[in-house]
Amino acid sequence: MRIAIVGTGISGMTSGYLLSEDHEVTVYEAKSTIGGHTATVDVPLNGRNWLVDTGFIVFNHKTYPHFTRLMDHLDIERAHLIGYSMGAKVANTFRASYPDRLISLTLGGYGWPWRSRDESVAEAEVRLQSDFVLPGNDLRALAAVRVSMNDLIPSEKNLRENTIPAFSLVGTTDNVVSRSDLDTLRSTMANLETKDMPGTHAGPDGAPYKLQFAAELIRFLAKHPAP
> What is the pLDDT at residue 157?
94
- CB neighbours of residue 202 within 10 Å: 21
For the whole model, what pTM was predicted?
0.71
Q: Check residue 173 and give its pLDDT.
A: 85
Looking at the chain, the domain(s) classified CATH 3.40.50.1820 span: 38-113+152-222
Phi-psi sector, 199: left (phi>0), alpha (psi -120 to 50), beta: left
Residue 100 CB contacts under 8 Å (≥ 6 apart), including other chains: 78
pLDDT reported for residue 175:
76
35-66 CB burial, b ≥16 within 10 A, e <16: bbeebeeebeeeeeebebebebbebbeeeeee
Q: Which residues, at least 6 apart from 182, have a Cβ–Cβ distance to it below 8 Å? A: 110, 111, 112, 168, 170
Mean pLDDT to the nearest integer, 185-198:
93
- Looking at residue 199, its pLDDT comes to 81
CATH code for the domain defined by 38-113+152-222: 3.40.50.1820
Q: Which residue has the higher pLDDT, 22 or 62?
A: 22
Name 99's Cβ contacts closer than 8 Å, sequence gap at least 6.
162, 163, 164
Residue 114 has what pLDDT?
Answer: 66
d(Cα 204, Cα 215) in Å, to the nearest integer? 19
Is pLDDT larger for residue 226 or for residue 220? 220
* Distance from C-alpha of 143 to C-alpha of 150, rounded to nearest angstrom: 12
- Alpha carbon 197 to chain centroid, angstroms: 18
Q: Can you give the pLDDT at residue 56? A: 59
In three-state secondary structure terms, 185 is helix
The mean pLDDT value of the chain amounts to 83
pLDDT tens for 112-153 read 776 666 788 888 888 777 665 666 677 787 778 777 777 778
Range list of β-strands (E), 116-201: 166-171, 192-197
Q: Is the pLDDT of residue 204 over 70?
A: no
User: Quick check: 10 and 67 in contact, CB under 8 A?
Assistant: yes
Query: pLDDT digit string (tens) for 57-114?
Result: 556 677 778 878 888 888 888 889 988 887 888 889 889 988 998 999 999 988 877 6
Residue-level pLDDT at 38 = 65
Task: Average the pLDDT over 28-55 and give the result.
Answer: 74
Q: What's residue 136's pLDDT?
A: 64
Give the residues across from 4 on adjacent strands.
Answer: 26
* 189 — pLDDT class (breaks 50, 70, 90): very high
The single-letter code of the amino acid at 146 is R
Query: What would the mean pLDDT of 42-58 be, rounded to a whole number?
Result: 68
